[in-house]
Amino acid sequence: MQGCRRVEREYMREEERKRQFERSDLIGLKNGMTVKCSEKSQWKAMNENYGYSFYYANSYLAPWLRRSPLHYGAWLIMSMYNTFSVSSWMFILCKSVILRPRNFQILTECTHMIILLILLLSGVFNTKYRKAELERILRAVGEDIYKYGDTLDEETAEVLKQIKEKTFQQKQSLSKVVNIIIISVTVAHTTLRPLADLFTSDRIYQPDEPDGITHVLSMDVYYPMKLYNSVPAIILAYTHLLLIFFWGGNVVVSAAVTFICYSHTLCGEYRILCVTTRRLVERAKAMFHRENPDKPFISFKNDIIFERCLRRALKDSVKHQQKLTQFADDIKVLYYYVILTGLLCITALLCFGGIVFTVKDPPIATLALYIMFLSGELYLLLLFCVYGGMIRDLSMQVGQKVYFSDWTEYVSMIKTDLLIMQTSSQMPRGISAGGFHYIEFSTFSDVTSSAFSYFNIVNAVRKD
């Protein structure tokens, strides 16, 4: 009883804090930014789920940043520079392939980077196009999807707290791995590979070719400036290279890492829903005792007050399921074309990344770099497939948990509601690759086997 009252007091305090917050119109932040009450949940979600990456990737500008002249001006400047940077590097890479179509190392490395840029651009354009879905997802995450309030018993509330804490920790750990991979690839490509070439080969000491191919950068490419023996030009070129990697890293974070955060949150919420539906009767009994402490216990079976408590508990679970259905559908729509483009591009990236290893006498630095590239690409592909499968499985488990709850004695009270929940769970949610198929665990093996097949074909053509 004391535990139930404690849960009720905590709920009342939370409601009071919410009412106090709603009385104020704006929250002041640093650098003159203000966040409206209606934007608080979105601001909270962006702070906790790497939302800063949207700003640096120039894919989405939050309303409170739009109201700040400083941040809005900086965003416009970055947008113009990133447009120039992406366009110039696309031109450089394509020109390199055109100039040296028979140089297989230049061909494979430049084609690999061109495909990577196409994948990154698809992520940026998709976020701009799917702005409404993104904002709904951010608001839902910032509001913790759904709050049960006073319809929980003490034991269920403790289990839910543990699930949320574990979900948050796992989400942060998986996201950090992706961030480490991004930083490692950036440092390796812009710093470690040139340093390795400096000490292990004479490539970097060779003068620029007459057609504009330079050996000074981390890979042999055409560059519109003469770089050989020109320190200012070399610094400018490496800055140009570093900034495109900075933009690309933020695009990966804004697309892949946020996908991990949203999907892991959804999986955690489905686990919470499974717990609350499994403990439906226990929650209703706790509400009954909390609201009627003086009423003697006879039987819950035909008690009108208990039936009302049971319906309230089930109503919360149904509302939670509705919220999760909308949340899952928004994730599906937001990443609808990104997943399709990602699967196609990752297949090609794995293929061309593998070709680098078959080039005659490849530098050790090149091999080390592409091992990192391939590891990162495989890790991201695996995460996309794993989350697609988890969302489908967990959304179907809700019906099983409803069936295994103690509903048999109270079927006359909640029969219709239980049937609705079970029917809904028989239509699992998932992540679709452009409508062709839902990604799941088997998608990983399909993509890797396809990449290996293309690799064999390209390698055979090269040898001929």
How confident is the model over 379-420, as pLDDT tens digits? Answer: 888 888 888 888 888 888 877 777 766 666 666 666 677 777
Closest C-alpha to 148, from 22, 261, 316: 316
Q: What pLDDT is stored for residue 300 in this prediction? A: 62
Q: Which two tokens stand for residue 456?
A: 């064999």
d(CA 92, CA 86): 10
CB atoms within 10 A of CB 87: 11
Phi, psi for residue 428 in degrees, rounded to 5: -65, 150
Length, in residues, of the chain: 464
- Residue 419 contacts by C-beta under 8 Å, 6 or more apart in sequence? none
Between 183-197, 255-269, 320-334, the lowest mean confidence (pLDDT) is in 183-197
72 membership: H or E segment, kind and range: helix 69-99
**Domain contains 128:** yes
What pLDDT, on a 0 to 100 scale, did the predictor assign at position 30? 47
Name the β-bridge partners of 236: none
* 303 residue type, one letter: D
Q: Lowest-confidence range among 11-20, 363-372, 422-431?
A: 11-20
Segment 26-63, tens digit of pLDDT: 454 544 556 666 678 888 888 888 888 888 888 888 88
E-strand ranges in 123-216 read 213-214
The DSSP letter of residue 453 is H
For residue 82, pLDDT over 50 is answered with yes
Confidence check: pLDDT of 91 > 90: yes
Residue 123's pLDDT is 87
| C-alpha distances out from residue 80 to 52, 85, 129, 199, Å | 18, 9, 19, 37
Q: φ and ψ at 292, to 5 degrees? A: -135, 65
Q: What's the token pair of residue 368? A: 């080390």
SS3 content of the chain, % helix, strand, coil (to 5): 80, 5, 20
**Taking Cα atoms as reference points, which of 155, 148, 147 lies closest to residue 286?**
155
The pair of three-digit structure tokens given for residue 10, joined into one six-digit string: 């905590």
- Please, what's the b/e burial string for 409-421 (b: 16 or more CB within 10 A of its CB; e: otherwise)? ebeebbeebbeeb
Query: What is the span of the domain harbouring residue 361?
Result: 83-463
Answer whether residue 30 is part of any domain. Answer: no
Backbone angles phi, psi at 231, to 5 degrees: -60, -45
Whether 13 is covered by a domain: the verdict is: no
Q: Bridge partners of 251?
A: none
- In the chain, the number of structural domains is 1
Instruction: Say if 402 falls within a structural domain.
Output: yes
Using one digit for the tens of pLDDT, what is the confidence trace for 170-229? 888 888 888 888 888 888 888 888 887 777 777 777 888 888 888 888 888 888 888 888
Is residue 50 situated within a structural domain? Answer: no
Other Cβ atoms less than 10 A from the Cβ of 149: the count is 15
Residue of 156, 163, 408 whose CA lies nearest to 285: 156
Predicted confidence band of residue 94 (pLDDT cuts 50, 70, 90): very high
pLDDT in tens, 28-37: 454 455 666 6
CA distance 53 to 61: 10
In a domain, 40, yes or no: no
Distance CA 346, CA 447 (A): 8
In a domain, 59, yes or no: no
Question: Alpha carbon 300 to chain centroid distance?
Answer: 45
What's the rounded Cα separation, in Å, for the pair 104 and 224? 22
- Residue 298: pLDDT over 70: no
**What count of other Cβ atoms lies within 10 Å of the Cβ of residue 296?**
5
pTM beyond cutoff 0.75: yes
| pLDDT of amino acid 21 | 46
